[in-house]
Structure 1
Amino acid sequence: MNRPIRDPLSTRLHDTLRPLLAATARVVIAVSGGADSLALLHLLLAGTALDRTRLLVVHFDHALRDDSHLDAHFVGEQAEKLGLACRIGRWESPPSGGNLQERARNARLGFLLECARSFGAEAILTGHHRDDQAETFLERLLRGGGVTGLAGMRAERPLGNGIRLLRPLLGMGRAELRDWLTQHGVAWREDPSNTKERYRRNWLRQRLMPLLNEALPNHDLALRLAESAERLAQADTALEWALADYWPRLDARWNQAAGVISLDCRAFTTLPEAMAHRVLTRCHAALTGCAHPPGARAMAQLTRMTHGKGRRWHMHVNGLRIGRSESRIYWQRFVEAPRKSSQGAGEKEMWEMVEFSVWDPYHERGRFTHPDALLPI
């Protein structure tokens, strides 16, 4: 039996995925019912001898629209027609307060991860494309994003437990994906919330991008912005490489039980500001579990304090006590309101004879007792 010939767009997709996935890998495909995710699904299946038992279609109903169940029904029908297994989840009790879109994304990712683990999948595929990347770049630029933020979405992102998030359509544009679906007679559903300009992403897509394209008619703006994001991603990787090389000089020590990380002050203060911010972000994430760094104002204040002449000081940022004690800078979790006295009796007792481990994310270094353990390091 002759192997079917793939069309050019499908070939591009499979060429992108080939170095990222083993031929026998199990894969979860996130399908919303919109054009982008359906293009991913059909391009993946187009003209291949793919073992469909290794694919699982997953849809998450956020239940934020009265008719959202119709999207779930549509995805289920599509999966059945294609002979694919399908799982559908629903956000039964969306919590109140906070950023609704962020909470919805987190709920969706949680369900995708649960499905991937139970299916034995090593990757989750999403339909993010080049125009999504351009909009992400602009959105983060307007928020004052740095190198990491402006690097945008990565084509590959580890999620833990051997599962990765893959975005194989980042090199393709929205228009060419929809043209492909139309040419192949594939229908999709439009989410009416995508037209509501109160969401910044929609405003960027419907107002700002058309204005920029009109002002620069001979430029493929989405392509240029996506290329800028890619170059910044390369710069971000280079900075991480440089920090890994410098890390041993920081003499980083982490007492997980007490929730304390400390660094050599002199080695830290000799870092360029951008690298120092990376160290701060890493320590903040290690203690709080939050990948988002402290705000710009907190970073600026901390930079002033660390480069000042004071040998003993502390400040409180986002649930952390950050300070200096002689030759070391430390980060410490706290759950009570900050005390007026910076060195109370309870605090001293908490610090006594603490066993530290060298915190090195790149090498295993063993454990030891720090000779200055009586000091709040």
Structure 2
Amino acid sequence: MLQSHPAIGQLWVGFSGGLDSTVLLHLLVACQIPVHALHIHHGLNTDAEAWLAHCKAFAESLDVPFTAVQVTVDRKDGGLEQGARRARYQAFSQVMSEGDQILLGHHADDQTETFLLRLMRGAGVLGLASMSESRLIGDDKYLLRPLLKAERKELEQWAEAYGLDWIEDDSNADETLERNFLRHRVVPLLNQRWGVNRQIARAAENLRESADLLSELALADLDALDLKEERLGESLALPLFFNLSERRQKNLIRQWVLCQGGQPPESSHLNQALCQVAYAGEEAQLEVNLGGRVVRRFRDRLYLTPRLPPFANNTDKSWTWDGCSDLALPGGSILHPVPGWPASEYRVCYRKGGERAHPINRPRSQTIKKLLQEEALEPWLRDRVPLVFLGDSLVAVAGLFSCKADCHIPDEPPGWRFLD
């Protein structure tokens, strides 16, 4: 598998100290493949510090570089298991550089449990395709699962043959957890009748092909719907979107969310989002959370954006800007200079209400509220647009227009964009 996915950068192993990651790390070292062990310290178990010490000692015994990262798990983020997973993958992405790969020890038994869990939750084609052998987790960063076709009993045989010690998480015996119930009660019964790992692996591969085909269709539809990058997220032409069948609309939205790094949305949430999009007026403040992203509608465009950070208590604040460098602002945006913009000591703030501006290309001043409407700035960004002052004079509304002033101000205003 590693020959099919050659690494440009560093190879990492997600090393929890359990059976699968222990065998994977040992196997790679036995094959003389240079790797770096990465341990994520969730702090959820009273033995977490002992696990960290065990993992560090094992890596050192193999002469493998070892890195540990402590994370904070948000239990509100889809529950404890989902919150831990999100924190873990965020840590992976932060530690890795472009061209790096991280190898995880998921095996065929894990794939079976994942398939059955998603089946019980009513997952669609993509969900039932379960875990892939490889996928992107960031810009040119890859996750690989080289043991996905190996069964747990094979890993146990390897560990016993080489006298390896591994950590047994006591929570794995808790059958109130869905995955453990499947592992201890359901899968053994299925194995008595069928070779369930092989059958599910075959089904997952077939479903993966179907999911890939649906993805290709969705990407083709996106290209045909005038997809545009916006200050925040992306947008597409709503009239063209409505020309698609409902099935293709759902398929497109689902893929669009995934392309932006969101999670596959649940069918019920997707149906609700489409219903609200269809019946919302052109100027309606539509805001539907979907898979970690937000669906919005403005005029004849459908938007998909990241969630906006909280923005309260910023209207009375201001920031100093030199006109030459980037200025990070609350709410996740950046003010940046443009060629020819003069260096000076500017004051940057947000709207309070009632302000007026006199754009360079207009004969008279108007309220900023009216100007933002005429400039067709998206409603969810109108309270966040930076106002740039020199002394007491408003000289620019960032990203939109420069204002008439006593001093020379270029026609092009300072730029304004949001962090990815």
TM-score, with normalisation over the residues of structure 2? 0.66
> Alignment partner for residue 271 of structure 1, among 244, 248, 251?
244
User: How many Å separate the matches in 2 of 1:296 and 1:347?
Assistant: 38
Q: Deviations over 1:332-365 (max 9, x none)?
A: 76979xxxxxxxx999864533499xxxxxxxxx
Q: In the alignment, does 2:74 pair up with 1:87?
A: no
Specify the alignment match of 1:317 in structure 2. Answer: 288
User: How many Å separate the matches in 2 of 1:116 and 1:284?
Assistant: 23
> Alignment partner for residue 178 of structure 1, among 119, 139, 156?
156
User: How many Å separate the matches in 2 of 1:304 and 1:224?
Assistant: 38
User: How many Å separate the matches in 2 of 1:304 and 1:271?
Assistant: 14
- Between Structure 1 and Structure 2, the one with more helix by share is 1
Unaligned runs of 5+ in 1: 1-15, 337-344, 357-377
Q: In the alignment, does 2:375 pair up with 1:353?
A: yes
1:209-288 superposed matches below 5 A: 209-214=187-192, 217=193, 219-256=194-231, 261-265=235-239, 267-284=240-257
Aligned 8 A contact 2:221 2:252 in 1: no
Q: In the alignment, does 2:25 pair up with 1:45?
A: no
Unaligned runs of 5+ in 2: 311-366, 379-420
How many residues are matched? Answer: 316
Specify the alignment match of 1:135 in structure 2. Answer: 113
> Alignment partner for residue 152 of structure 1, among 122, 130, 138?
130
User: How many Å separate the matches in 2 of 1:324 and 1:353?
Assistant: 13
Q: CA deviation at 1:313?
A: 8.6
Aligned 8 A contact 2:273 2:288 in 1: no
Q: CA deviation at 1:167?
A: 0.8
Q: Deviations over 1:177-230 (max 9, x none)?
A: 11121122222221111111222111111122123223xx2x210221122111
Instruction: Give the 3 Å change call, closer, same or farther, for CA 60–320 of structure 1 in structure 2.
Output: closer
Specify the alignment match of 1:56 in structure 2. Answer: 36
Specify the alignment match of 1:359 in structure 2. Answer: none
User: How many Å separate the matches in 1 of 2:126 and 2:76?
Assistant: 27
TM-score, with normalisation over the residues of structure 1? 0.72
- SS across alignment from 1:140: helix
Report which of the two structures shows the higher radius of gyration computed on alpha carbons: 2
Instruction: Give the 3 Å change call, closer, same or farther, for CA 112–200 of structure 1 in structure 2.
Output: same
> Alignment partner for residue 108 of structure 1, among 70, 75, 88?
88
Q: CA deviation at 1:113?
A: 3.1
User: How many Å separate the matches in 2 of 1:198 and 1:350?
Assistant: 54
User: How many Å separate the matches in 2 of 1:131 and 1:185?
Assistant: 22
Instruction: Give the 3 Å change call, closer, same or farther, for CA 34–303 of structure 1 in structure 2.
Output: same
Over the matched positions of the two proteins, sequence identity in percent amounts to: 30
- SS across alignment from 1:88: strand
Q: CA deviation at 1:245?
A: 3.0
Q: Which moved more, 1:33-42 or 1:234-243?
A: 234-243
User: How many Å separate the matches in 2 of 1:231 and 1:322?
Assistant: 34
> Alignment partner for residue 330 of structure 1, among 302, 311, 317?
302
User: How many Å separate the matches in 1 of 2:242 and 2:144?
Assistant: 37
- CA RMSD in angstroms comes to 3.3
Aligned 8 A contact 1:29 1:57 in 2: yes
User: How many Å separate the matches in 2 of 1:32 and 1:275?
Assistant: 41
User: How many Å separate the matches in 2 of 1:163 and 1:144?
Assistant: 30
User: How many Å separate the matches in 2 of 1:349 and 1:294?
Assistant: 36
**Structure with higher RCO (Cα < 8 A, 6+ apart):** 1
Q: CA deviation at 1:124?
A: 0.6
Q: In the alignment, does 2:2 pair up with 1:17?
A: yes
> Partner letter of residue 44 of structure 1?
L
User: How many Å separate the matches in 1 of 2:295 and 2:61?
Assistant: 57
Aligned 8 A contact 2:117 2:179 in 1: yes
- SS across alignment from 1:17: coil
Q: Deviations over 1:118-159 (max 9, x none)?
A: xx8611111011111111111111111111111111111112
